[in-house]
Amino acid sequence: MLEVTPVPAFSDNYIWLVHGVGERSRVAVVDPGDAAPVNSVLDRDGLKLDAILITHHHPDHVGGVEAILRQHPAPVYGPRGERISTVDHRLGEGDECRLPSLNLRFRILDVPGHTAGHIAYFGHGAVFCGDTLFVAGCGRLFEGTPAQMTQSLQKLAALPANTQVFCAHEYTLSNLRFAQAVEPDNTDLAAFAERAQRVRGRGLPTVPSTIGIERAINPFLRCGEPAVQSAAQRKAGQPLADNTAVFGAIRQWKDNF
Ligand code: ZN
Ligand code: FE
């Protein structure tokens, strides 16, 4: 299993340190919005930075890149479809992100919706999905449509069930409150929410979850479920034609929850 260390940043971001396979002192860092916590972990633990991976252009994901590079020069990988000045390897759907010094390779998935060019990195039983899929939730639609986000989430949901989901924020408890408003009778969801509260009570991350867990508890992956559909239609006050319309209705509901 991939060794991944969370570096908490700001109020609720996770910057992920991905250790090399068989080379644990060499690392890649995912979405470093802030340089200070990353530089200090690298220096404290004597880690060599071999790559920076970016999922999308928002400042809380790229804001630390320049200041990290000044102390720890490394190649920067990021989405082909977004203008990020520090990115020197631009990636899109079907590309591979190869990091030979770390014995790592990731397949790139285009997952637009939160932003127009958002990508995810999939490999070694893990997916780094930025602000597209969260534990029990999904990102807001800043630059995309419900149809795009539905497709992106379905792409992630189709990954193997045991895939670990490394999203970029600890939004889990508030996402779970909403998920339970949508699906009050989902017993997997209720059990997961109880566990998550205990985990947060001890100050630990609820991330990563797995794709299998998300399929069972995340309302945004469950727009085909009758319970989610009827909750969405009740909220919208009208029949909803398809899963995209259901997704749009619950995304809007969550925006105002
Ligand atoms: Zn974002
Ligand atoms: Fe973010």
pLDDT digits (tens, 9 = 90+) for 193-224: 999 999 999 999 999 999 999 999 999 999 99
From the CA of 130, how far away is ligand 2's center (Å)? 7
Name the stretches of the chain with pLDDT < 70: none
The residue annotated as part of the active site, out of 19, 56, 57, 72, is 56
What residue ranges do the domains of the chain occupy? 4-255
Query: How many whole angstroms from 55 Cα to the centroid of ligand 1?
Result: 9
- Token couple for 43: 């220096």
Question: Domain 4-255 belongs to what architecture?
Answer: 4-Layer Sandwich (3.60)
**Can you give the pTM of this predicted structure?**
0.98
Single out the catalytic residue among 19, 57, 58, 72: 58
Listed residues: CB within 5 A of ion ligand 1: 58, 131
From the CA of 114, how far away is ligand 1's center (Å)?
Answer: 7
Q: Separation of 63 CA from ligand 2 center, angstroms?
A: 11
Query: Annotated catalytic residue: which of 31, 34, 60, 110?
Result: 60
- The ligand with the least distance to the CA atom of 15 is 2
How remote is the CA of residue 139 from the centroid of ligand 2, in Å?
8
* Residue 163: how many other CB atoms lie within 10 Å: 23
Residue 8 C-alpha to ligand 2 middle, in angstroms? Answer: 13
Q: Is the peptide bond before 59 cis (omega within 30 degrees of 0)?
A: no
56 carries an active-site annotation = yes
Out of 57, 72, 114, 118, the active site residue is 114
User: Which ligand gives the minimal distance to the CA of 168?
Assistant: 2
Q: In this predicted structure, what is the pLDDT of residue 143?
A: 98
The string of pLDDT tens digits covering residues 157-198 is 999 999 999 999 999 999 999 999 999 999 999 999 999 999
Say how many Å lie between the CA of residue 34 and the centre of ligand 2: 12
The predicted pLDDT at position 1 comes to 86
* pLDDT on residue 254: 98
Nearest to 222, CA basis, from 199, 188, 256: 188
Q: In this predicted structure, what is the pLDDT of residue 244?
A: 98
60: annotated active-site residue: yes
Q: What is d(CA 99, CA 105) in angstroms, rounded to the nearest whole number? A: 6
Nearest ligand to the CA atom of 10? 2
Our answer to whether residue 58 is catalytic in this structure is yes
Instruction: Give me ligand 2 centre to Cα 183, in Å.
Output: 26
